[in-house]
């Protein structure tokens, strides 16, 4: 079977160990017994509600990606939903940064018939529109945080940190867009390094990316769809908490989810967001009336959801890769005529 990374570098394993230690330390500080009790309280009802709510944001994410694609070239909504599912599964379950999930998602969509040119060019712009949508979602959470803490909280360390992170994220988004418009050669080299032959198959990525940005209404609509997906994901978490009997309104949950997502994006080097997700939940959730032990139990429930939804997606993707490899290996050689034709010059 084809794999993107034949061997993970030691630095990734070290990052996983450090992040896991941080997550364990957060649980120990809050109280392992308390977290276990909250986890039992949320239980299968919360997990089931969260799993059942997952298709809504996933379809929206696939639709946002689909909006950026030119018609034809294998572009179908189900292909993009599938590719996005594999992308997120790889980012949440495999021990490397979301960059690996980005390429794996593009690869999965290619296996479903999308042209490499369309897969990579639209993936790059899709990541950009999601970054822009997340900025709006984080700003929403920041506004709720300031409202919750009061006007005097504007100079608090937490609020200032979120504002600084929001500014850095906006700068990163601008730089990423500039890189796409003027750094096409670098993008092609990255693609070639991660998946040999991908850049050549994708063709001129700069031209393809420019063509995507040449439809600004679709780009804006894709960003809006991403914002809807972020909101739907937060509401899914609220439904899970309500199903488990936790009395909390949707707005605080949306604020918590926006700030957790912002923290994970800011510390993108943390594999699977380990430690960062748990620490942010423990820090932010009590500000909105959710106990730290319940917040950490929620984090565990979300990781269980990622495993339930993502593991089958990754296994089916690898099965498709395996069938492709076996199909090539077992393909019969081209038929050779029993009697060779005489050269044209020898024909009477």
- 282 Cα distance to chain centroid: 23
pLDDT at 4 > cutoff 90 = no
Quickly tell me which residue has 């070239």 as its tokens: 73
pLDDT of the residue at 238: 96
3-class secondary structure, 247: coil
- The DSSP H or E segment spanning 95 is none
Give residue 69's region: left, alpha or beta (phi > 0; psi -120 to 50).
beta
Confidence of residue 315 (pLDDT cuts 50, 70, 90): very high
* Average model confidence (pLDDT) across the chain: 79
Identify which has the larger pLDDT, 110 or 35. 110
Cα radius of gyration (the chain): 23
- Distance (Å, whole) CA 320 – CA 326: 10
Task: Report phi then psi at 44, rounded to 5.
Answer: -70, -30
Nearest to 102 by CA among 78, 121, 79, 74: 121
List, for residues 160-178, the tens digit of each pLDDT value.
777 777 777 777 777 777 7
Q: Give me the sign of the Cα torsion angle 274, 279, 284, 290.
A: positive
Domain boundaries, the chain: 33-321
For Cα atoms 189, 191, 194, give the angle at the middle one, nearest 5 degrees: 110
- Percent pLDDT > 70 in the chain is 70
pLDDT of the residue at 345: 44
Q: What is the pTM (predicted TM-score) of this model?
A: 0.80
List, for residues 255-296, the tens digit of each pLDDT value.
999 999 888 887 766 666 777 888 888 888 898 989 888 988
Identify which has the larger pLDDT, 91 or 21. 91
pLDDT of the residue at 337: 47
Report whether 6 contacts 329 (CB < 8 A). Answer: no
Q: Of the ranges 119-128, 197-206, 239-248, which one carries the lowest mean pLDDT score? A: 197-206
List, for residues 186-229, the tens digit of each pLDDT value.
655 655 565 555 555 444 677 888 888 889 999 999 999 999 99
DSSP state string for 248-305? --HHHHHHHHHHHHHHHHHTTTSGGGTTHHHHHHHHHGGGGT--HHHHHHHHHHHHHH
Report whether 191 contacts 103 (CB < 8 A). Answer: yes
The set of residues, in sequence order, having a beta carbon less than 8 Å from that of 256 and lying 6+ positions away, is 141, 281, 284, 285, 288, 290, 295
Give, as one character, the DSSP assignment of residue 244.
T
- Distance (Å, whole) CA 190 – CA 274: 25
- Distance (Å, whole) CA 329 – CA 136: 49
């Amino acid at each position: 079977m084809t794999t993107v990374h034949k061997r993970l570098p030691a630095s990734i394993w070290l990052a996983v160990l450090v992040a896991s230690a941080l997550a364990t330390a957060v649980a120990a500080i809050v109280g392992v017994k308390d977290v276990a009790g909250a986890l039992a309280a949320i239980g299968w009802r919360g997990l089931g509600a969260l799993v059942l709510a997952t298709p809504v944001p996933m379809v929206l994410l696939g639709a946002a990606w689909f909006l950026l694609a030119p018609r034809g070239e294998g572009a179908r909504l189900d292909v993009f939903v599938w590719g996005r599912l594999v992308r997120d599964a790889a980012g949440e379950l495999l021990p490397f940064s979301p960059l690996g999930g980005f390429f794996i998602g593009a690869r999965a969509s290619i296996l479903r018939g999308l042209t490499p040119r369309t897969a990579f060019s639209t993936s790059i712009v899709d990541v950009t529109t999601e970054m822009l949508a997340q900025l709006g979602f984080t700003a929403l959470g920041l506004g709720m945080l300031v409202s919750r803490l009061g006007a005097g909280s504007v100079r608090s360390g937490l609020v200032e940190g979120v504002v600084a992170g929001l500014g850095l994220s906006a700068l990163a988004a601008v730089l990423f867009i500039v890189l796409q418009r003027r750094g096409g050669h670098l993008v092609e080299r990255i693609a070639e390094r991660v998946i040999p032959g991908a850049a050549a198959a994708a063709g001129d990525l700069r031209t393809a990316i420019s063509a995507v940005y040449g439809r600004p209404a679709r780009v804006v609509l894709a960003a809006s769809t991403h914002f809807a997906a972020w909101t739907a994901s937060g509401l899914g978490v609220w439904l899970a908490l309500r199903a488990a009997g936790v009395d909390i309104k949707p707005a605080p949950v949306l604020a918590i989810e926006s700030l957790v997502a912002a923290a994970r994006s800011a510390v993108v080097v943390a594999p699977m967001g380990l430690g960062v997700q748990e620490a942010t939940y423990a820090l932010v959730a009590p500000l909105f009336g959710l106990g730290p032990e319940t917040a950490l139990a929620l984090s565990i429930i979300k990781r269980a959801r990622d495993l339930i939804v993502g593991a089958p997606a990754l296994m089916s993707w690898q099965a498709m890769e395996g069938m492709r490899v076996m199909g090539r290996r077992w393909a019969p050689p081209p038929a050779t005529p029993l009697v060779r034709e005489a050269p044209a010059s020898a024909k009477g």
